[in-house]
Structure 1
């Protein structure tokens, strides 16, 4: 009780501190998260002699809304416009005794810090001088890395599934390799991906895929559990976006990868909008390379956007001040595929297994072998005729469809599962912008996304339905106290859900009652009180499905608060900013399963047991071999990330700007469990092993099992087992209060059209894996999140015949519950070092930016980083050295602690890259962008988290010894090219027929291309199992092979990608010497193309017809080769593809 009070007291102290700090920001000066998605414009006004002009009036006007921002220059002649919505603008400067100067229409982009200087001439303010060539094309005030993807590119480039993340790779330094668990998409581990197209979760400048952050309009739009966006923006609502990294500004931070800033559109003074529909059908696609068939699917995306001034006839005219924007998109996807499956025949369910090629033995005849003490004998079933248990027959008839004729003699498939895969997504956004006079403005946006996907689990009649409701909403308020002091307040909220259920379409209640399943096995679930779930029946050779409740995680809420103020003093723009983004997690997991193996009905004679017995016979006789049950509710108390910074941007000379800042980040790790009573809410009574000292930490001490009556509880009489301690403050992970990150950079205008830039910063990663790491210890001792029973019904001298049935495999007496083991040291879970620290990176870059012409810019940068405290995972706690002797617990790091999955922040890495981009803005109907990266990423532990994302070291106690090598995210070469080309034929174009009707017919064509290519992905030749006898093997291969020759081949092929004879299994009891990621898979390239026909409808409307082809050349990109020598037939063979066959999409769009 005391520790809970102390925890809430610390929360209260933090809340008070944050409130005081934000209040101070609002009274002083600062920059918060909102400015990440806006632009700023600054400059200096001088007279003909070069002297500065103070008190000069500068007006910035939005072309679309006519909203004006007005300021005056200070004593240094400097002016500043902050928090400017990206768009098209004109700016003018005027002062007494000088003529008015105006810069014609130009663009301000997301995250841009533009500079326009004025040199006034003597004259009357009535005279207006238009200054050409002053529009900002170069980044002259910042060394930040990043590239803006503009509205035209977002709307016109071909995007499969219309997911904007496919365009992230247009930015240099962005690698499309994805090792994270977010990879599969479609509701599994990622937020809703349309159809079968997963989102791009990139690696930025060598960082892990989870080390990115997503903002929309400056609001956190982040699914913190899997480190992807929460609500994907609709393509037609995107104004533009930018991936920022290696920033010399302290306002960027909290991740060591990229910060993705998406800006949504706002309304204008005129009513604008569009209606659209995109359609795909499998009949238009190319044949899949391996199956030579086309998928039978249909896909439609439809919706519209509209924006304009808020007008209420005779009541309110919102022109120039109040604007609205709304967007809706629906997505419908259906894939019909017939999967051949094997189900029991009527004869087999009657006990006739004579068609089986293996002899089946009667487990109930098992008895000691008098001739061989310690061994057993049992009798065969004559003719493989058995007497099934009627309950098991009823179970089989319920879950399996009726068998038909054999469809495949190899698999013996005799039935078909034609359950369609469907997905319905509905998205909408509503946004309002308000200008309150010259000094105040505000906006509010609400975005909602709901995805419902249904797919087969392997049998008809039991679909898995994944429902994902997500929301992202919030707003911002800006007040200008004076031309030198601007204040902004902002809030946001993100809600992410991921709820999965799998239930039979028929009621299972009567069957569960008929079979007589124990409630202790199929019921009594924390997340579903009063409900029972039919277990999964695992029978080798047959589909195995069972009911599931809320399999996937839910992250209910994340709240964001930040303050924004900017103070200009002379040539200094000083920012002090800060904010807090909370995170919280909730996840129920409810499953129960049984496994039936051939051994239960096989021969017990060790000399004649191979190829005997049958899993189906074991099932029909009700002799299970294994059982498992998951019953856990994971919930965390609120955590979050606090970020504060101070930044000074000093225009030291007209050509040199110096940026210096300091950022402070703290991760408040969300403690596992709530402070509520156990029940549907997860409790804090769980634990974690500490391999630093061989102890086990209980987060909070629970009552005795004899008192509480259910887990979590303390077994025995109440004395703690040896080496078990209790946390003094209900926490296992503790906050790191030392995350200070300095930033320093410069931008120097060496000459007209050439800028030299460089920067350095230290950045901490406060978000990558935080929630998933926190929840990994849910259900651990003294709780019981998962129960497992193996070797059920294995004959013993005391009990040679089966005694455990499917009805009650854990043999729990009626009315009783599961209780934890006497101590925690035999459990295996995803545990972590209690001393985990936030990763951090030292980042630097140096480069030049050259203006080739008025619309084309060349940027070249050297980019480097040194990363520290990266996650190293895999099984830990085994033997410290290899041995020829099989592993046993006596050789473990601590003989009383079983090896378990374990995460430590002991990895490191570095990245060096040459990054170049050539960008031509859309002018005269043409634009292009070319990005190229030549880089090398080396690390240990940089591939991902928890071992399942790669990077498991051979030597767990010295990870760098064998595994510091090329990163699994490394791509030597990355090339991206995009083009938009309006064919210059027709009225008003370069080539015109001179005839209006003919021009209308032949004109209006546009062709767009997106080409992407990269080098092969690195991989390691491995061998499965525990070859070194260290006890470190998990489910992923961790041991390298020995390199005994040259792995290179003069002619690589899918049948043999590398010289397999160059590798051999290491000697038992040793580690392999082949380098980690020492081999490369095939390179990749792909070209997507779209063709538009535009039909003008009057002066302000047009109709577009679009044809888009993804992989237009139908090029086959091979996948990765099999790298595990344990399967020698497939070792070195490529039997997968990294690309799909050509896919066509047709679209119609009406724009007004």
Structure 2
């Protein structure tokens, strides 16, 4: 059993896991007459300018209208009431945010049509929700310099700090370093939640986005970060929320093709370069995306493909190796075989006749591809279905020269793969009630096989290099996440009600050949070169037993939320979450833990205060009662203040 993997899984269960139900945007407002009095019984129509899909709401006596489950995009809002001219407003809706768009009608005697032009939702304050969030639209995600990373702008959100790997999908956790995506308002980065189209995209072992689950920038419609004061429908872990929403087709065909090239022909020399030439870097990332109607106003398609290739000149590491004079003193046949198998002859002399230098040239080339397919179909103005599939693969050489090993070809090959599928059904049950049902599947593979064909033990010699294939390879993990969530929203007078549930089954199939100094292939430690040449190790470690770790768990949650608009400028936000944290089990029950509360003998040590080993499931018991009340308010005193 790997201490690293167990510690990470136990960490997941040591924090309050708060599963989230994820919803799209909300549009609301109040209809007023020229004097500021509310206009009852107005007919409010919300039309998607890209797909021409419309929804209708009849405002009540309080003049309030409300549209839930609004996908991101550009919209037109038109309002008609008896005795008044029709008013029209245009704006952009965004995910997980309420757009407040009040409408002021003019008397029909004026015989005019009033248009309220709002170019972007960013000029409108969210006047009903206290949550703090940062939104990035397609122009920002695709065109700003973000190192061609969809998540490149995440660290610019207020209250956010980048962590170990700000582009997501961390590989290892060493020396207490935090892994994951971001730290939001001081929370640990592992406790952040990542979503792709409102379903799971987490790396459940290290935090952040799962390996490979970051679509190309031209695939993304919107990127959002929630940092604090989130409503009862959000959570999962205890940190910030990071959401990516992919693009969908519209009534017009649009697309783009792109190619990012970086090589020594275009590159400038480094500031301290003395060779007169630019360092060799060969990067070629190219792809395309396109979307449009299959059937106008009914069926829409979107898709894209991207290829990535990265070859760099690499680096040079100066490795200390034994000289021929030192090797001639060896009498032990095992040490002679080790030197012949692993250690090259030095090419540069040093002041020590027994130690020479061998320059090690190494690089980290990589290549991969990804594609996205999405289809949206409107059965009617009240029912729609969206289906999306994302797939990516990547292969990279991780030499680890100078850190874990001292020679080339003793590191690892990283093979990563991501598959993420999502089905969303949106049903407007009545003009005031909308339901969204989502089915999600996410698979993330990260495997590090050794570069050597037949790796042997791992060696550390003080004064020389560390050599031999690193004992922690092969290692890797395969996550399978099965998810169902449902959210229903209803407008009832001044109350905006939401409720829902989330069910998630998590499979973590991990494999690890060792960690720390314990490896299945063995680890020799020599205190000096002389001890090595005389075959006198100070320590030998070896890990025995299976290295596969098939963990299983289930997570359930439900929530209820009421946004009560007490006054036009004051909204009270009340919510309650319930969590059921299922037990952590090992598939097949092949797991043992030392339980100090269970009397018994421990091998030859006999009975004692340490207890005894308990075999089988659960590894961690379930926690069925987690209640999380939420309270907040949003007050808009005017003058752009909130």
Q: TM > 0.5 between the two?
A: yes
Q: Do residues 430 (structure 1) and 378 (structure 2) align?
A: no
Shift of 1:614: 0.4
Structure 2 CA distance, aligned partners of 1:563 and 1:556?
23
Find the partner of 1:42 among 7, 28, 38: 28
| Distance change in 2, residues 1:60/1:261 (3 Å) | same
Shift of 1:593: 2.9
Find the partner of 2:593 among 687, 693, 713: 687
| Distance change in 2, residues 1:149/1:289 (3 Å) | farther
Higher alpha-carbon Rg: 1
Partner of 1:262: 244
| Distance change in 2, residues 1:342/1:32 (3 Å) | closer
Partner of 1:754: 640
Partner of 1:307: 291
Q: Do residues 534 (structure 1) and 456 (structure 2) align?
A: yes
Partner of 2:172: 189
Partner of 2:343: 400
| Distance change in 2, residues 1:461/1:565 (3 Å) | closer
Find the partner of 1:614 among 527, 530, 547: 530
| Distance change in 2, residues 1:143/1:291 (3 Å) | farther
**Partners of 2:169 and 2:209 within 8 A in 1:** no
Partner of 2:402: none
Partner of 1:466: 414
Partner of 2:153: 167
Superposed, 1:738-753 pairs within 5 Å as 738-751=625-638, 753=639
Structure 2 CA distance, aligned partners of 1:448 and 1:641?
25
Q: Tell me the alpha carbon deviations over residues 533-574 of structure 1, each in whole angstroms, 9 at most, x when there is no partner.
A: 422233330341226575444142122211111122111111
Find the partner of 2:571 among 649, 653, 657: 657
Structure 1 stretch 213-222 or stretch 287-296: which is displaced more? 287-296
Shift of 1:159: 1.9
Structure 1 CA distance, aligned partners of 2:260 and 2:543?
42
Structure 2 CA distance, aligned partners of 1:580 and 1:291?
60
3-state SS of 2:131 partner: coil
**Partners of 2:428 and 2:434 within 8 A in 1:** yes
Superposed, 1:89-168 pairs within 5 Å as 89-103=75-89, 105-123=90-108, 128-132=113-117, 137-160=124-147, 162-168=148-154
Find the partner of 1:284 among 265, 268, 272: 268
| Distance change in 2, residues 1:572/1:323 (3 Å) | same
**Partners of 1:586 and 1:633 within 8 A in 2:** no
Q: Do residues 593 (structure 1) and 522 (structure 2) align?
A: yes
Structure 2 CA distance, aligned partners of 1:408 and 1:244?
59
Superposed, 1:200-215 pairs within 5 Å as 201-215=181-195
Q: Tell me the alpha carbon deviations over residues 501-542 of structure 1, each in whole angstroms, 9 at most, x when there is no partner.
A: 11425xx4xxxxxxxxxxxxxxxxxxxxxxxx4222333303
**Partners of 1:249 and 1:661 within 8 A in 2:** yes
The number of equivalent residue pairs is 600
Structure 1 CA distance, aligned partners of 2:447 and 2:116?
58
TM-score scaled to structure 1, two decimals? 0.48
Partner of 2:46: 60
Find the partner of 2:223 among 241, 245, 249: 241
Structure 2 CA distance, aligned partners of 1:408 and 1:640?
62
3-state SS of 2:467 partner: coil
Structure 2 CA distance, aligned partners of 1:500 and 1:468?
9
3-state SS of 1:143 partner: coil
Shift of 1:264: 1.6
**Partners of 1:585 and 1:636 within 8 A in 2:** yes
Partner of 1:562: 485
Partner of 1:271: 253
Q: Tell me the alpha carbon deviations over residues 747-770 of structure 1, each in whole angstroms, 9 at most, x when there is no partner.
A: 22323x434xxxxxxxxxxxxxxx
3-state SS of 2:151 partner: helix
3-state SS of 2:189 partner: coil
Q: Tell me the alpha carbon deviations over residues 984-1026 of structure 1, each in whole angstroms, 9 at most, x when there is no partner.
A: xxxxxxxxxxxxxxxxxxxxxxxxxxxxxxxxxxxxxxxxxxx
| Distance change in 2, residues 1:333/1:199 (3 Å) | farther
Structure 2 CA distance, aligned partners of 1:290 and 1:597?
40
Find the partner of 2:394 among 447, 451, 460: 451
| Distance change in 2, residues 1:251/1:546 (3 Å) | same
**Partners of 2:406 and 2:465 within 8 A in 1:** no
| Distance change in 2, residues 1:439/1:542 (3 Å) | same
Q: Do residues 33 (structure 1) and 15 (structure 2) align?
A: no
Structure 2 CA distance, aligned partners of 1:284 and 1:535?
43
Higher strand share: 2
**Partners of 2:594 and 2:612 within 8 A in 1:** no
Shift of 1:725: 4.6
Structure 2 CA distance, aligned partners of 1:211 and 1:170?
19
CA RMSD, 1 decimal: 3.5
3-state SS of 2:108 partner: coil
Q: Tell me the alpha carbon deviations over residues 612-666 of structure 1, each in whole angstroms, 9 at most, x when there is no partner.
A: x7044134xxx43322223443434421432211111112222222211112233
Shift of 1:293: 10
Structure 2 CA distance, aligned partners of 1:466 and 1:697?
42
**Partners of 2:84 and 2:107 within 8 A in 1:** yes
Shift of 1:575: 0.9
Q: Do residues 735 (structure 1) and 641 (structure 2) align?
A: no
Instruction: Give unpaired runs (5+ residues) of structure 2.
Output: 1-18, 400-404, 514-519
Partner of 2:16: none
Structure 2 CA distance, aligned partners of 1:248 and 1:183?
23
**Partners of 1:32 and 1:577 within 8 A in 2:** no
**Partners of 1:102 and 1:129 within 8 A in 2:** yes
Superposed, 1:770-849 pairs within 5 Å as 848=642
Partner of 1:1030: none
3-state SS of 1:734 partner: coil
Superposed, 1:276-425 pairs within 5 Å as 276-281=258-263, 283-287=267-271, 296-310=280-294, 318-335=295-312, 336-349=314-327, 351-352=328-329, 386-389=330-333, 391-406=334-349, 412-425=355-368
**Partners of 2:332 and 2:534 within 8 A in 1:** no
Q: Do residues 576 (structure 1) and 495 (structure 2) align?
A: no
3-state SS of 1:441 partner: strand
3-state SS of 2:636 partner: strand
Shift of 1:299: 2.1
Structure 2 CA distance, aligned partners of 1:297 and 1:449?
23
Shift of 1:118: 2.7
Q: Do residues 495 (structure 1) and 437 (structure 2) align?
A: no
**Partners of 2:73 and 2:94 within 8 A in 1:** yes
| Distance change in 2, residues 1:726/1:595 (3 Å) | closer
Structure 2 CA distance, aligned partners of 1:496 and 1:290?
44
Superposed, 1:801-950 pairs within 5 Å as 848=642
Structure 1 CA distance, aligned partners of 2:631 and 2:354?
64
**Partners of 2:223 and 2:243 within 8 A in 1:** yes
Shift of 1:247: 2.3
| Distance change in 2, residues 1:655/1:468 (3 Å) | same
TM-score scaled to structure 2, two decimals? 0.84
3-state SS of 1:58 partner: strand
Partner of 2:199: 219
**Partners of 1:220 and 1:492 within 8 A in 2:** yes
